[in-house]
Each structure stands twice: as structure tokens, then as C-alpha cells.
Amino acid sequence: MTPPRLVLFTDTALLEAVDFVPRAEALMRTFAAFAAPAGSPSTSLLLRGAVDGRRLYDLALALSHPSRHFGVDLAVADRLDVARAAVLPVHLATHGLPVHEARRQLGPRVRITSSVHDDAEAERAVGADAWIVGNVWETASHPGRPARGTDHLRALAARPDAPPVIAIGGVTPERVAEAVAAGAHGVAVLGGVWRAEAPERALTRYLEAFDDVPAAPPARPDR
């Protein structure tokens, strides 16, 4: 169950915006246009934010068809009820359900990713299909939180119980290669795309950054 190489996070402000669906569709269309002639790293749109379950479910339904049409994976954060109802993968925050409980409720075929910041959280996230590890660099999403650095990323990626890891926190297109060299399968971004002056062009720059990095290794047979 190989995870995507580029994950687009959202936040509450994005999910509450009246124009979120057309903005998300524009990014999906950009991904499809990039991927069609040249191939592209797999991309996921992760709906994450403090909105009620009905809003999250309605957004998931509104984006389910365009996500399939444009070849973009769609996932939700923390809400297992919405994940079950909309038949989507789920991402677990560190304050959410443990991976083993989410797996028990969702079954073996649903992709589960989990946020991991240290070894203790890694222990609790064993069994996830990917760890999203951060924050690797300083990020405006968490002002004042110090960067953990690529050595920290490398150490978590090297754990024998680690699934593929995805780097998050201050990832720019120029840092994609550095993250992959430190053991990351892929990267996750929020402000680097959504807050950019031209989000579609920003997304293209992230996709182009994977041209200079090795292909993702095959998933481990026990994952």
C-alpha cells in the first residue's frame, strides 16, 4: 500500500472557505496536466481542519469525483466516521486514536498514515502505512517551534519498524531532494502551495522537484 509522494495538507481556514472546492479542483487539474505528458509523483489531498463532520463529509463527496477524474488521492484527517462513510484513507494526528484501534475499525485495506515527531510517537504509530514526520524545517504553520532537522528525519526513517516516511514542515521545492536524501519517501506541504501567489504554479514546482530525486522504493512486503 504505497503512500503518495506529495501530500497537500489543508487547515481550518481553507476548509471553511466558500471557494475551497473550486480551488482544490484547480490544483487537481494542474496535477493532471503535469502528469499526462511526463509522469508525476503520486499526489494526495488531505482534508484536515477543525470543521464539523458534516462539512468534512460534504467536501469529501464534492471532491470525490474530480479526485478520481484527475488522478489525485483524497484522504481525511482523524475522522474515522467520515473516512468510513466516504470510503477514504485516513490520517491520524498524534492526539487522535492509536493506529491499532483505527486499523481495527477500518480494516486492513484502508490506508492509514500517522503523524510522528519522536521515537515514543513512532512506537504508537507502528502498523501505519506511512509516517508523516516533522517538523523538519521551521514552518509558519507552527511559529516558534524549532526545526527538528534532517538528521531527526533520517533516524526515524531508518528504524526497522518504520513504514515509508513523508517529511513535513518548511518543505520548499528546493528542499525536496534533501528530504529524500535523508530517507523520506515523499513530502507534505500546506502554505507552500495554498498560500502561494500562484498556487497552481507552486504545485508544479513541487512536482518538478521530484525529477531530480530517485524513484520511490517498493513498499515493504509486510506493509
Question: Which three-class secondary structure state does DSSP give residue 112?
Answer: strand
- pLDDT (average), residues 165-191: 97
Q: Determine the Cα angle at 16 with ends 50 and 125, to 5°.
A: 30
pLDDT bucket at 19, cuts 50 / 70 / 90: very high
pLDDT of residue 31 exceeding 80: yes
The pLDDT of residue 115: 96
pLDDT bucket at 223, cuts 50 / 70 / 90: very low
Q: How far is CA 78 from CA 43, 94, 127, 176, in A?
A: 19, 10, 16, 26
pLDDT bucket at 39, cuts 50 / 70 / 90: low
pLDDT of residue 43 exceeding 50: yes
The pLDDT of residue 118: 94
**Bridge partners, 7 (sequence order):** 44, 188
- pLDDT (average), residues 177-182: 96
pLDDT of residue 218 exceeding 60: no
Q: How far is CA 86 from CA 26, 74, 75, in A?
A: 22, 10, 9
Mean pLDDT of the chain: 92
**Assigned superfamily of 6-114+172-212:** Aldolase class I (3.20.20.70)
Domain boundaries in the chain?
A: 6-114+172-212
pLDDT of residue 40 exceeding 90: no
Encode pLDDT of 45-84 as tens digits: 999 999 999 999 999 999 999 999 999 999 999 999 999 9
